[in-house]
Chains A and B, each alone.
Chain A
Amino acid sequence: NAGVTQTPKFQVLKTGQSMTLQCAQDMNHEYMSWYRQDPGMGLRLIHYSVGAGITDQGEVPNGYNVSRSTTEDFPLRLLSAAPSQTSVYFCASSYSVPNSPLHFGNGTRLTVT
């Protein structure tokens, strides 16, 4: 059972470039989300989805775009990368957010130069 799979593990971008971080889960979870983790800060929610075709903004959505065409996949797009987006990005899924644990992927470490 793979759980939550994120690709790539590492990425270096130049300012202004765009890219997509991939996230897939095989647990049939309706809820999926993206977080960023920066030194000295707690995990911060970027975007989330409660099912295919439904997405919403989290705490820090600016500069990021998401879509959810299937239950399994929830890609995160960086539209025009900025150095402030240098971070570790985690995708997480859950059966039911209020009552069930989040299952996290192992992260994508992104550096924007």
Chain B
Amino acid sequence: KNQVEQSPQSLIILEGKNCTLQCNYTVSPFSNLRWYKQDTGRGPVSLTIMTFSENTKSNGRYTATLDADTKQSSLHITASQLSDSASYICVVSARQAGTALIFGKGTTLSVSS
């Protein structure tokens, strides 16, 4: 069964610190992996999309890594800011007919001052 598991479920860090969020997936055949940021009361916003051949991708202070062999991805946030407080959702796209986006349940990050 295609699944995406994220850890931790929630995380609290101090402003200015770094953090890493994890995503493990069992999706086949794999097409790409996406990270989204969802602020409270808003829709998710795309941070990165990574294909099989990409193992690192950055978007400002956000850096995503992908290990297609172990089926793991991480999202590293550098020098966190209060505005980074949000839910971060990992989504894996399966290469098959129709649409097949498998969503993780998200990691809730709280950045405190």
Q: Which residues of A contact B (CB under 8 A)?
A: 4, 31, 33, 40-45, 48, 56, 58, 90, 92, 97-107
Contact = CB atoms under 8 A, between A and B. Distances in A.
A81 B45 CA distance: 29
B26 to A, nearest CB: 14
Interface band, chain B: 20 to 34
Interface centre among B43, B49, B98 (most CB of A within 10 A): B43
A45 B99 contact: yes
Main secondary structure of the interface of B (DSSP, over half): strand
A102 B103 CA distance: 12
A106 B106 contact: no
Contact of A102 (B41, B46, B95, B98): B46
Interface in B60-112: 89, 93, 95, 98-99, 101-106
Nearest to B4: A42
Given A92-B43, A106-B43, A98 B31 contact: yes
